[in-house]
A and B are shown apart, each in its own frame.
Chain A
Amino acid sequence: MKNQGSHLIDITDPTQDRYAALRLIDWWDQERVQNAHLMVIGAGALGNEVLKNLALLGVGYIFLVDFDTVEASNLTRSVLFRPEDGGRFKAEVAAESLHKINPDVHVQPFCGDVTHDLGLGVFRQMDVIIGCLDNRAARLAVNQACWHIQRPWVDGALDVMDGLVRTFMPPDDACYECTLTEQDYALLNLRYSCPPGFTLTTGRQPTTPMIASIIAAMQVQEAMKLLHGLPVSSGQATYYSGMGMRLTQVKYTRRDECPSHLMFEPIISLPYGVDDLTVGQFLDLVSSYGNGENMIRLFLPRQIVTVFHCPTCATDVPVYRPYEDVVPVEVPCPHCGKLRLYSNISYITASAKNHNIPLSQLGITHFSILPVQLAQRWQYFELSADKDSIMNRQEK
């Protein structure tokens, strides 16, 4: 409790100062809220309500992630969308509406998928991350990101009359992945192995604006407690049952072998962006930070197929693109139609011949933090020059 009791209450003119009522709260620090950087992932039912609250509170910077577009059925639960917004990106529409609610708030929309498109460097600039997600794969990605750079995140989930809120604060207590069962992993892998063109039905759960408001309100309240250094219970879920009007708490057990428990340390900031470097240039740079190790490996966020070999036609085609993007679609040989062999890798070594491949081709995104193994040590390199292009992008 860093601030309780030590803060002077500002009494301002309620006819002029929109935050006058907030300033009367003894632990509230409006300046802290205005300087805060929050990420909201998902602009669905939950995201809309979370964002509305953050804008009302005057949170200074909101990084909003959503890959989806507005459709008519969203309108029963989305205070930020209007019928004429149909077909537009949710993140962009929400950013515009929030600006109208409170022009003090800067909202940076990011129309992409949190699992593959968003660099870890963005998470590192945040104070709190709020998950408004509808699937395990995205929650797992957010959890791992937050663990790597040690930021708290507040997860929310909705059913019809029930919902839950849980705060995770790495490196303490249980994290989201600690809670996953064998069955959860099986369902996750089912999602990863979806054949092309087939998408699992997500975002189609029955739900109401009431449960979205209730859960979102609890999430934002947790986020404000985190911002102000007030005590928050992490590694546990608070279940809300609307039928019984009950709150129940469940403490999770921390798993010592949990794969998420990896801290990226040390992180070294490179004055380059993902579009500035080839693999060779990156590895050269990295070796200048080493102690002359002869083993340097750049681990790739996604497995990369390096080459297709057709045994029938005896041809080799260099690929160097993410595994999920080429398997199984491009496995058949374009000449003979038979299935080709391929080689895939999880890391690139300094001795690799293909040094002229751009980093961006290897599934590496803007503002990434890349894990590099130098013999027995690990170092993590941030592509820091991408910061402004991602976090302060000017909208056309």
Chain B
Amino acid sequence: MPSPREKRLQKEFQRMKDIVSPHSLFRFFCADLSDSEAAEFLKSQISYDVIHQHLPGLLEPDAFEKKYIGLPPEKYLVVYECNGLARDNDGNIGKTAAHAMEIVFGWDYPSKPPTFVWHTPIWHPNFNTPNICIGLC
């Protein structure tokens, strides 16, 4: 019998799947990265080549469901493909089109909110990589 936490995570998974469409500006992956994969991931410039070739623990939702039957994802990587602004190392502001955010659900979820880590450079009042201000905390 799934625990209240697992039931809630399944519900979140369904909601994530429901809001993605072929036209949406973001996609998401279910992460079951080993520690070393996660470290590799931090070093990489986000690209689909990296995601598919080097990180077998990063799965599309349907692949995740096939591999972990009946289990909800505990960690997501959300990739946004939309234009934004980012500051380079010299402080110049330029255009950027790929953004990535990680969501991790703790053992104490849903009594406590998940943690969010923004991975990509961005120039925006609500972001200061890796921090995000979403009024949750």
Q: Give A123 Cβ to nearest chain B Cβ, in Å.
A: 17
Residue contacts A-B, CB under 8 angstroms, 25 given: A140-B111, A189-B136, A192-B112, A258-B4, A259-B8, A259-B109, A260-B111, A262-B3, A262-B5, A302-B106, A303-B115, A307-B35, A307-B38, A307-B39, A316-B43, A339-B128, A341-B42, A341-B117, A343-B39, A348-B35, A349-B34, A352-B35, A353-B35, A353-B36, A376-B70
Among A260, A312, A354, A378, the residue within 8 A (CB) of B35 is: A354
Beta-carbon nearest neighbor of B3 in chain A: A262
Chain A residues with CB under 8 A of B53: none
- Chain A residues in the interface with B (C-beta under 8 A): 140, 144, 177, 185, 188-190, 192-193, 257-262, 295, 299-303, 306-307, 309, 312, 314, 316, 323, 327-328, 331, 339-349, 351-354, 371, 376, 378
Chain A residues with CB under 8 A of B32: 349
Chain B residues with CB under 8 A of A346: 74-75, 104-107
Among B105, B108, B129, the residue within 8 A (CB) of A339 is: B129
Q: Taking A339-B129, A345-B35 as contacts, is the C-beta distance between A299 and B107 under 8 angstroms?
A: yes
- Which DSSP category, helix, strand, loop or mixed, fits chain B's interface? loop
Interface size on B, residues (CB 8 A): 41
Is B19 close to A, CB under 8 A? Answer: no
Beta-carbon nearest neighbor of A306 in chain B: B35
Q: Give A266 Cβ to nearest chain B Cβ, in Å.
A: 14
Beta-carbon nearest neighbor of A258 in chain B: B4
Other A-B pairs, 9, CB within 8 Å; known A188-B112, A371-B107: A190-B137, A257-B8, A259-B110, A295-B68, A307-B42, A316-B42, A340-B130, A341-B42, A342-B117
Contact B34 A192 (CB under 8 A): no
Q: Taking A189-B113, A316-B43, A343-B38 as contacts, is the C-beta distance between A259 and B128 under 8 angstroms?
A: no
Among A192, A301, A314, the residue within 8 A (CB) of B107 is: A301
